[in-house]
Amino acid sequence: MSADEPAPERNPERGPEPSGVDLARVALRAAREQARARGDAVQQKKQARRGGGLRSGARADGRDPMALGAAINRLLTERGWEAPAAVGGVMGRWPQIVGEDLAKHCLPEKYDEDERTLIVRCDSTAWATNLRLLAPALVARLNEDLGHGTVRLIKVLGPGGPVRRYGPLRAPGSTGPGDTYG
């Protein structure tokens, strides 16, 4: 720098100018990236000359076939389906989790992932009441198996009523046999 030239101004918003060591690191990083790019280009040209395209070799790479279990686990992880798949496994093991007596009368129907709610239908109102009393302990047991917070609530549904048939003999305003169900 000569005496006539003013000193470079520092911008207070950007902070201090990089020092010599920092500039050397930046230059080294850029040189490495350029070398890597040149190496990739050379490798692609060699493969094209050898007969075009990629070939399978003796070493494992990303193109090799995968075992079915590993492929399914990878798909579940990539899509974020771990919790629904785990709850699906619980539905298959329902009798072992809740016991044979309860499993005969109460079956899981659906898992709502957004609300983290397991919906269970019982075949009578007495079993529905029993399951409602056991729900907190069952939620704790399910979260122990599946991971904390997977199931927040068990929604217990009573038995479904018979199919309502509408016809000419139906009394206006009547709710029909649905009165006694639920």
75 CB contacts (<8 Å, ≥6 apart)? 81
| Residue range 19-43: mean pLDDT, rounded | 78
pLDDT(21) > 80: no
**Which tokens go with 79?**
């899509």
For residue 38, how many C-alpha atoms fall within 13 Å in the half-sphere facing its CB?
Answer: 6
Q: Do the Cβ atoms of 112 and 119 come closer than 8 Å?
A: yes
**Which tokens go with 50?**
């050898």
Q: What is the largest CA-CA distance in the chain?
A: 110
The pLDDT tens digits for 91-115 are 788 888 888 888 899 888 888 888 8
119 vs 178 pLDDT, higher one: 119
Q: Do the Cβ atoms of 57 and 71 come closer than 8 Å?
A: no
138 CB contacts (<8 Å, ≥6 apart)? 97, 98, 131, 154
Measured between alpha carbons, how far is 63 from 179 in angstroms, rounded to an integer?
62
Q: Do the Cβ atoms of 7 and 1 come closer than 8 Å?
A: yes
pLDDT(182) > 50: no
State the alpha helices, DSSP H only, in the chain: 20-49, 68-79, 82-92, 94-98, 100-105, 125-146
The pLDDT tens digits for 49-91 are 665 555 556 777 777 788 888 888 888 888 877 777 777 777 7
pLDDT, residue 67, reads 85
| The model scores a pTM over 0.85 | no
pLDDT, residue 56, reads 56
pLDDT, residue 121, reads 92
Buried b (16+ CB within 10 A) or exposed e, 76-92: eeeeeeebeebbeebee
Angle (nearest 5°) at CA 13 between 7 and 18:
55
